[in-house]
Amino acid sequence: MINKERLLANLNAMQTISTIEGVPGINRIAFTDEDWQGRNYLIKQLKELGLSLRIDDFGNVIGRYEGYNPNAPAIMMGSHTDSVPQGGNYDGLAGIVAALEVISDLKESKETPEHPLDIVLFMCEESSRFGSATLGSQAMRGQLSRERLQTLRDKKGLSLYEVLKERGFNPDTIPHAKFTTPLKAFLELHIEQGIVLEKTNHTIGIVTGIAAPTRYKVHIHGTAGHSGATPMNHRHDGLCAAAEIILAAERIAQNSKPIPVVATVGVIEAAPGAMNVIPGEVTLGLDIRSISAEAKTRATQDILQAISEVGHQREIPIDTTLIADEMPLMVKDSMIKAMETVAQAKQYNYMTLPSGAGHDAMNWGDYTDVGMIFIPCRAGVSHNPAEAIDIQDLVTGTKYLKDLILYLDQQ
């Protein structure tokens, strides 16, 4: 039986570790002491379950529960251990405590699958510290170079390279972190971080695809000037150009069909920032997402074209810097079908839906079959101290994860 008390005990222990006096919410910011204490607690749980452990050069942890066929590829499950600053206790951790519970339950009922089961603890999924997301799984996929580790820096100026060294890893061997063991599937359970499941009264979300961001910094080189003395027809107002760009991004995303695209300008910095000065230098942060790489590329090209037209019409030089360009994931039809078969056979209250947020799972689509399960979170709130779940939904999600593993094991 999936044991609610055991799930709660692990969640509560991690909550205690990640609470800093005087700071709201959960604070397991990647590679900080709280993150590391949480990781140590989870490693202890993996050991107590008798799993054999492997730790890679980035600190990711993989625990293996042997199946009866040692040559079969493993079914891997897991999620990330870190949180955003002042976050909630369920983003990432829900998927790990569910994976631990699946193994506890299998051991108790003396069920041995044919395939080995791997539990993975991904490090540094959140972009809050180093400005880039899912770094642990990127390291496992061999996508992190030594140079990138030196470029990625936190607010204090510490590079990821230095931080890894401080934690006792050798960042020079980061290419060795590449995961090469064959997998049959990778499954990630995660809170939805949206309101769809709750609004429609569903307990299980079968994810059809994961949107991934493409991000640009847009540098608008307008001309600052006296706001009283400069006539309207002699201005090169950087902020007016920015306004047109923001609305163009909104319009292009709104018109994207049939696959939706979302585009957001969430950052705007205007210099010099005075009431009596026409804005000159303006920097925008632009974020474009879709579950379809093709739809995202098309919208991105249209937005870049619109930016260049605004610059041309207003005679303002504008340049763009690509910050991130991550591949979205479309879940394979065969996996969605398997997940629906299990949900129907055992009468789970489920629906299919896309994920607007990025997840570690999106890095694994070209390595193995990926399946992602959502459970509801209250009012869709996440990355916030108010993040909450109904523990019964996590129990149901964990049961479903186990049923899905046992089904895939027989395929």
> Does position 192 bind Zn ion by CB under 5 A?
no
Question: Least distance in Å: CB of 114 to Zn ion?
Answer: 30
> Does position 88 bind Zn ion by CB under 5 A?
no
Question: Least distance in Å: CB of 50 to Zn ion?
Answer: 28
CB 130 within 8 A of CB 152: yes
For Zn ion, give the closer residue by CB, 28 or 215: 28
For Zn ion, give the closer residue by CB, 94 or 106: 94
Question: Least distance in Å: CB of 95 to Zn ion?
Answer: 8
> Does position 25 bind Zn ion by CB under 5 A?
no
> Does position 116 bind Zn ion by CB under 5 A?
no
> Does position 91 bind Zn ion by CB under 5 A?
yes
CA distance 245 to 227: 22
Question: Least distance in Å: CB of 123 to Zn ion?
Answer: 13
Question: Least distance in Å: CB of 208 to Zn ion?
Answer: 18
Residue 226 identity: H
For Zn ion, give the closer residue by CB, 171 or 358: 358
> Does position 82 bind Zn ion by CB under 5 A?
no
Helix (H) or strand (E) holding 191: strand 183-191
> Does position 92 bind Zn ion by CB under 5 A?
yes
CA distance 191 to 199: 14
Nearest to 221 by CA among 203, 242, 206: 242
CB 99 within 8 A of CB 78: yes
Site string for Zn ion, 333-362 (x = CB under 5 A): ------------------------------
Which one of the spans 47-55, 90-98, 108-116, 174-182 is the region binding Zn ion (CB under 5 A)? Answer: 90-98
Torsion of the alpha carbons at 195, 199, 201 and 207, rounded to the nearest 10 = -40
Which one of the spans 65-73, 88-96, 235-243, 403-411 is the region binding Zn ion (CB under 5 A)? Answer: 88-96
Positions 256 through 315 that interact with Zn ion (CB under 5 A): none
- Helix, strand, coil proportions of the chain in percent (round to 5)? 40, 25, 35
Q: How many residues bind Zn ion (CB under 5 A)?
A: 2
For Zn ion, give the closer residue by CB, 103 or 191: 191
CA distance 192 to 380: 7
For Zn ion, give the closer residue by CB, 58 or 65: 58
CB 195 within 8 A of CB 217: no
CB 78 within 8 A of CB 45: no
> Does position 213 bind Zn ion by CB under 5 A?
no
For Zn ion, give the closer residue by CB, 92 or 311: 92
Question: Least distance in Å: CB of 313 to Zn ion?
Answer: 41
Question: Least distance in Å: CB of 92 to Zn ion?
Answer: 4
CA distance 213 to 73: 31
CA distance 411 to 407: 7
CA distance 144 to 137: 9
Alpha helices in 67-195 (DSSP H): 93-108, 135-140, 146-151, 160-166
Question: Least distance in Å: CB of 232 to Zn ion?
Answer: 48
CA distance 369 to 154: 33
For Zn ion, give the closer residue by CB, 91 or 409: 91
Tokens 């709280």, residue? 34
Summarize as ranges the residues that interact with Zn ion (CB under 5 A). Answer: 91-92
